[in-house]
Amino acid sequence: MFTSIAIIGRPNVGKSTLFNKLTNSRDAIVSDFPGLTKDRNHGFINLKNKKAFLIDTGGIVNDKEEIKEAISKQAWNAVMESNLTILLFDGSEELNNEDLNIISRLRKLSKEFVTVINKIDKKSTSSIKEDLHKNGIINMIEISAEHSTNLNILKSELEKGLSEISIDVPNGKKVAILGRPNAGKSTFINKLINEERLIVSEIAGTTIDAISIPFEFNDENFILIDTAGIRKGYKYNHKVEYFSFVRSMYAIDQSDIVILMCDINEGLVDQDMKILNMIIENGKPVLLAFNKIDLVSKSELEKKYNSKKMQSEFMKNMEQVEISAIKKKGFKKIFNLTDKLIKKSQTKFSTSMLNKLLEKFVNASAPPAISGRQLKFKHVHFGGTHPTTLIINSNQDKKIPKNYKKYLENSFRSELGLKSIQLKIIFRKSLNPYEGKKNKLSERQLKKRQRLIKHTKKSKK
């Protein structure tokens, strides 16, 4: 069981700022835009000699609108899961009905909570402390999350309030789930873990933060990272969408593999290709998961696969799997492939094996001559992972024809089984050990050379 702490409060009281400060991270997006956090965000807080699981939640409001009601429900689920709750108030504003409703419900649940007043750095005439006293809350901690004021006092109070339960930071293979909005990423994770952990809505853009969830499949530990849907034109839209894109980039960087989820009804569109290129540029292995397969007939599916994009050479180098998140179809296959690709992407290939392959490829198709000189490849060695990097030493580096580079890349990819694994080949010019070193002639050799030159000139006459 986790020792866990939930942070709750109405929107824009500084929950995400406090979460980031306590976890020493930037995992939660912070903005003046209210209602930014929607799903629960998880991190770890160090409390002297132990760690606790910290949960950031969306703002709780009394609103029957579907999405706002779902956000509030997620926040209360976090409270039920936690050993301790941080009840956060905005110290620059007056106590309002939403605050009072949160206090009332928290008491009905009989959950332990620590009352925290945030934003004490702001000048204000608010009477929130007096109002809290009137409502039976005597002990409270005043902080400024933004300026890290009194956070040590808060940590000490949290440590006192927690029961002595040990906690291990979950380890596992990190799997980032990327895709366009409404591709079914959150549904996939919810069905996989048999829990309504993430908000699922037909409203595009419900997930904003990158949410990490420990998970076990076939005795293997995984950490699933659900990310925001990356929209077209994210760079020029509202700053929230841009931050979501940045968080997705961070998720790619932290992951061992990326599952790119696509809606099979719409096929592979330009935005999917842009996201795919983004993953490839980061050097991470990628698995294409075509979701909502239950909604497409066999004839329609055949048309999708016969499209130009799907038939391209580029797509043939990608592992693909068909799934239905809502019906839990294809889950076993997707994780078998995920495990296989992670292991392959972390493989370190021996120099002897690589050199045998290079010799085989050169013998099968001889390299061309460049400026009258035969192109020679001397040796190849392994250079690193993510992407899998090979370094080839030759007598040329910049003038090697692109088609021959592509030939070597395709040959290595095929022989090493690097389908869906990013491969980078670096060509280096081998240094000539005698370059720049000229032998100095002795006096006797110089005189002999001059006599030879004179003799040659006389003989020409």
Tell me the per-residue pLDDT of 291-338, one tens digit each, with 9 for 90 and over: 999 999 989 988 888 888 888 888 889 999 999 999 999 999 998 999
Distances (CA, A) of 118 to 124, 260, 279, 321, 376: 12, 39, 39, 48, 68
pLDDT at 98 over 80: yes
Residue limits of CATH 3.40.50.300 in the chain: 4-161, 173-345
pLDDT at 277 over 50: yes
Nearest-5° Cα angle at 441, 436 to 442: 145
Kindly give the residue spans of alpha helices, DSSP state H, lying in 173-282: 185-193, 239-254, 270-281
The pLDDT-based confidence of 221 (bands split at 50, 70, 90) is: confident
More confident residue, 363 or 252: 363
More confident residue, 16 or 418: 418
Give the CATH number of domain 173-345.
3.40.50.300
DSSP lists the bridge partners of residue 116 as 88, 141
Half-sphere exposure of 460 (CA within 13 A, CB side): 6
Is the CATH number 3.40.50.150 carried by domain 348-461?
no
Tens digits of residue pLDDT in 369-414: 887 888 889 899 999 999 999 999 998 878 899 999 999 999 999 9
pLDDT for position 330: 93
Q: Are 197 and 190 in contact (CB under 8 A)?
A: yes
- Least confident segment among 187-196, 201-210, 452-461: 201-210
pLDDT for position 245: 66
- Please tell me what DSSP assigns to residue 423: E
CATH superfamily of 4-161: P-loop containing nucleotide triphosphate hydrolases (3.40.50.300)
Q: Are 61 and 176 in contact (CB under 8 A)?
A: no
Residue limits of CATH 3.30.300.20 in the chain: 348-461
Mean pLDDT of 424-453: 79
Strand segments, DSSP code E, in 359-436 are: 369-370, 373-374, 377-384, 388-394, 423-429
What's the pTM?
0.59
pLDDT for position 305: 87
Peptide bond into 387 cis (omega under 30): yes
